[in-house]
Amino acid sequence: MFEKTLAELAQGLESGEFSSVELTQAYLQRINEQDSRYNSYISVTEEQALEQAKAADAQRANGEAGPFTGLPIAHKDLFCTEGVRTSCGSKMLDNFISPYNATVVEKFNQAGAVTLGKTNMDEFAMGSSNESSFYGPSRNPWDTDRVPGGSSGGSAAAVAARLAPAATGTDTGGSIRQPAALTGITGIKPTYGRVSRFGMVAFASSLDQGGPMTRTAEDAAMMLNVMAGFDPKDSTSLDKAVPDFTADLNQPLQGLKIGLPKEYFGEGIDAGIAEQVQAAIKEYEAMGAEIKEISLPNTHLAIPAYYIVAPAEASSNLSRFDGVRYGYRCENPVDLEDLYKRSRGEGFGPEVQRRIMVGTYALSEGFYDAYYKKALQIRRLIQQDFANALAEVDVIMGPTTPHPSWKLGEKSADPVAMYMEDIFTISLNLAGLPGMSVPCGFSNGLPVGLQIIGNYLAESRLLNVAHMFQQATDWHTKAPEGIA
């Protein structure tokens, strides 16, 4: 049962091979028995899940089931979930029980999905390894001494360890694609605005985007069918028609033009990753694709620009956590200033504090033009690089990450080294483009991700390109040792 994809589980429910209650109970039991090894969940919503499963079975018995009815998933713990703790991996929100549902959660509820629980994450989605979580790091199922990536590391670990068939994630600078690559699963960051951010606790509002984390591109398409769509409650939501993302999965790739950025294959990339990505490109050539070298000349500026823009937005968004309205409050404050200082100092971890301070500095009088304005100008140059490239090719491909998963604690003392692991993913968030990572091999026994980048609103094309690769290869079927 746990080796079945989301699409296969949907078929099993439809055929009566098992009920949603049986499926949900099996996953809950597996989480209870095995998640101590991976720490992928912060909260497991057993009672709610079984109620939803019973309701789904009743719907199916009445002939009212849809494509997603009765399927279990997990949500990253920054999607507000009514009546359930939504912690964002932080002490600041450890006691916060959401009074409402995020739009993404509501969409899955309406589709008849079953929520198994809320997954672990870097605190307020700030991190590339899941090590900044107040609840301790999630662990990579391929090697539990290594990181699963971040910030959606809990979702990635849960899917890779078969503790959920699929999960939601969010991507501000690579936080869906990077952990997907490090754990050998499939993840897609849609076009900015394609998925509602209402009820998704904000880190950097112009960069954050929710998306699915699954075993296959087909499963990701099923998830995106539920998640995508205009939301009047989100001012950044795109009022664009949403296609059936599963409709064109099997379109042939003859004549597909693939761009390879020369900047993605230079110094600093792990030799094993480069080898596996090049092998994946050859697979596409065998399917009839045309390969062209392109240039994204401002790639090297993406990380410095991002680490001005994202902290600046974070410093603004996180100012609401002050110990007054909700969340963590220090004990026995002597006055209002003491309340603010100690609540924020005790409630936020070191990485969040670091980014708030950087962002506040960049936005301060005398430094705004030198840092924030300049970062926005670089952001425009990066957008133009992609526009120029995508005028010549259909998709862009390269490695998702420069290195495979690293040991827990290996980069914790060097934030810059950690930030550099997002070198290939961050540009897409600055540009607002869709991108996804699919498994394409192994380097030293650890998963390697192939990143596929498309034009705005081209998620269907990306999913088609990924799905056809997965029909020709079996990397997405590989499971960590000991995972039954």
Q: How much is the average pLDDT of 405-414?
A: 92
Answer yes or no: is pLDDT of 59 > 90: yes
**Arithmetic mean of pLDDT, 14-42:** 97
Catalytic residues: 76, 151, 175
Is the pLDDT confidence value at 356 over 80? yes
Give CA–CA dist 284/292, Å, rounded. 12
- Edge-to-edge order in the sheet of strand 435-443: 41-44, 114-119, 72-76, 166-170, 210-214, 186-189, 435-443, 446-453, 395-399, 257-261, 290-294
pLDDT score of 254 more than 80: yes
Question: Would the pLDDT of 366 be above 90?
Answer: no
Nearest alpha-carbon partner for 201 in 351, 321, 306? 321
C-alpha span between 347 and 88 (Å, rounded): 12
Q: Are 305 and 375 in contact (CB under 8 A)?
A: yes
Taking alpha carbons only, the member of 174, 423, 433 closest to residue 299 is: 423
In contact, 295 and 262? CB cutoff 8 Å = yes
> What is 6-254's CATH number, 3.40.50.300, 3.20.20.370, 3.90.1300.10, 2.40.160.20?
3.90.1300.10
> Which of 341, 310, 362, 317 is closest to 172 using CA atoms?
310
**Cβ pair 295, 381 in contact under 8 A:** no
pLDDT of 417 reads: 86
Burial per residue of 434-447, b for 16 or more beta-carbon CB atoms within 10 angstroms, e otherwise: bbbbbbbbbbeebb
Cβ neighbours of 413 (radius 10 Å):
8
In angstroms, rounded to a whole number, what is the distance separating the alpha carbons of residues 94 and 461? 40
- Calculate mean pLDDT across residues 39-43: 98
Mean pLDDT value of segment 131-150: 97
Residues contacting 109, CB < 8 A, separation 6+:
52, 101, 115
pLDDT above 70 for 314: yes
One-letter amino acid for residue 384 of the chain: Q
pLDDT at 246: 97
HSE at residue 42, side-chain half, CA atoms within 13 A, is 32
Structure confidence at residue 482 (pLDDT): 81
**Two tokens, residue 29:** 């039991």
Check whether 484 has a pLDDT greater than 70.
no
**What pLDDT shows up at residue 92?**
97
- For the chain, give the number of residues: 484
Apex 216 CA angle, 56 and 137, nearest 5? 85
Task: Please report, in angstroms and rounded to a whole number, the separation of the first and last CA atoms in the chain.
Answer: 9
- Over the stretch 267-301, which tens digit does the pLDDT of each residue have? 889 999 999 999 999 999 999 999 999 999 999 99
Give helix 302-317 / helix 374-390 axis angle, nearest 10°. 120
User: Across all residues in the chain, what is the average pLDDT?
Assistant: 96
| Mean pLDDT value across residues 133-154 | 97
CB atoms within 10 A of CB 69: 20
Strand partners, 451: 398, 437
Pairing assessment for the beta strands 435-443 and 446-453 based on DSSP bridges: antiparallel
User: How far apart, in whole angstroms, are the C-alpha atoms of residue 166 and residue 159?
Assistant: 6
How many Å separate Cα 295 from the centre of its chain?
26
